[in-house]
Structure 1
Amino acid sequence: MSKPGTPATGGTPATRLLTASNVPFTLHRYRHDSTVTDFGAEAARMLNVAAERIYKTLVVDAGDRLAVAIVPVNSRMRLSAVASCLGVKRVRLADPAVAQRKTGYVVGGISPLAQKSLLPTVIDDSSLEHPTVFVSGGRRGLDIEISPADLLALTRGTTAPLISR
């Protein structure tokens, strides 16, 4: 883990937030293949980490607002579960261009941390089964390893069962 207070070498808003917040984390870099579109599976393979520890950040459209759902890359998010957590009838994946504009990150590199707009965030409760999880560091080929408790605190998120088991 990076020492709190040590300058982050990733240079993204997410790594700057972690450093400024004195939250321990580890950066993991890998060479992203521009032909790959399954970013989570690529991260698991390139980092040699079990897919259930790598979490994808999905921006959802809840009708009158956007929100973030964070789920393991080897799972399918249940839209109805996310909607229930947000107190709305239904959600759908947000338009990628809107997601990029609201978060400040490119699709495939959307970090749940230090987004342009603080969006309501729900994290699959399976994250609590691991001492650390991996989330995007703010660009393709950069992941952050962080404790689920720190991820929850920094995103002001909640946990709930969001995936089919």
Structure 2
Amino acid sequence: MSKTTRATQTLAKAGIAFSVHTYDYDPNAERIGLQAAEAIGEAPHRVLKTLMVEVDGKPACVVVPSDREVSMKKLAAAFGGKSAAMMKPAAAEKATGYVVGGISPFGQKKQVPTAIEETAMAQALVYMNGGQRGLQVRLSPADARAVLSAIVAPVVADT
């Protein structure tokens, strides 16, 4: 497995401090983010999943703890939109240049508006997809927000 991807190159070029962590990706896992957290031995709220969505029909990206679900209503509101929906997997792959299970918010073919769940910002370090299945990058959530020009908002569903 290559540890150099468009995601890691984007972070390095931006001067962001990060470390790379590999794990055995399970293509049959019911919830990919939770499987990643378990495989690297981290708490699920520190391993963030990257989801591609459409807000009012336009592509966007949302990054949330792997043990939480996105509230489409809250997400749409965070972007100033009326509605939000998950992007179909084939469309997400085409938009990002990554394969599902390996979609990183960093180094996408075209940078799209990105939101990070506000509770993730309380962590000293978080894990995000590094641009391929079985590859995570660990970094400060503040650095992730900065390099992505992301908004920080409460976008997870109430439990």
TM-score between both structures, scaled by the size of structure 2: 0.94
Specify the alignment match of 1:35 in structure 2. 28
Q: Distance in 2 between matches of 1:64 and 1:86?
A: 12
Note the C-alpha offset of 1:65: 1.0
Note the C-alpha offset of 1:10: 1.2
5 Å-filtered alignment, 1:1-165, equals: 10-163=3-156, 164-165=158-159
TM-score between both structures, scaled by the size of structure 1: 0.91
How many residue pairs are counted as aligned between the two chains? 157
Structure 1 runs, 4 residues or longer, greater than 2 Å off: 33-37
- SS of 1:58's partner is strand
Q: Conserved in 1, the CA contact under 8 Å of 2:98 and 2:132?
A: yes
Q: Distance in 2 between matches of 1:34 and 1:161?
A: 29
Q: Distance in 2 between matches of 1:144 and 1:12?
A: 11
Note the C-alpha offset of 1:37: 4.1
Tell me: CA distance 1:40–1:132, structure 2 relative to 1, closer, same or farther (3 Å): same
Of 122-131 and 28-37, the range deviating more from structure 2:
28-37
Note the C-alpha offset of 1:17: 1.1
Q: Distance in 2 between matches of 1:154 and 1:92?
A: 25
Q: Conserved in 1, the CA contact under 8 Å of 2:26 and 2:32?
A: no
Flag structure 2 segments of 5+ consecutive residues without an equivalent.
none
Note the C-alpha offset of 1:33: 2.3
Q: Distance in 2 between matches of 1:65 and 1:27?
A: 31
Q: Distance in 1 between matches of 2:115 and 2:25?
A: 27
Q: Which amino acid aligns with 2:95?
A: K
Q: CA RMSD in A?
A: 1.2
Q: Deviations over 1:26-73 (max 9, x none)?
A: 111011123224211111111000000011111111233100111111
Q: Distance in 1 between matches of 2:41 and 2:52?
A: 26
State the identity as a percent: 34
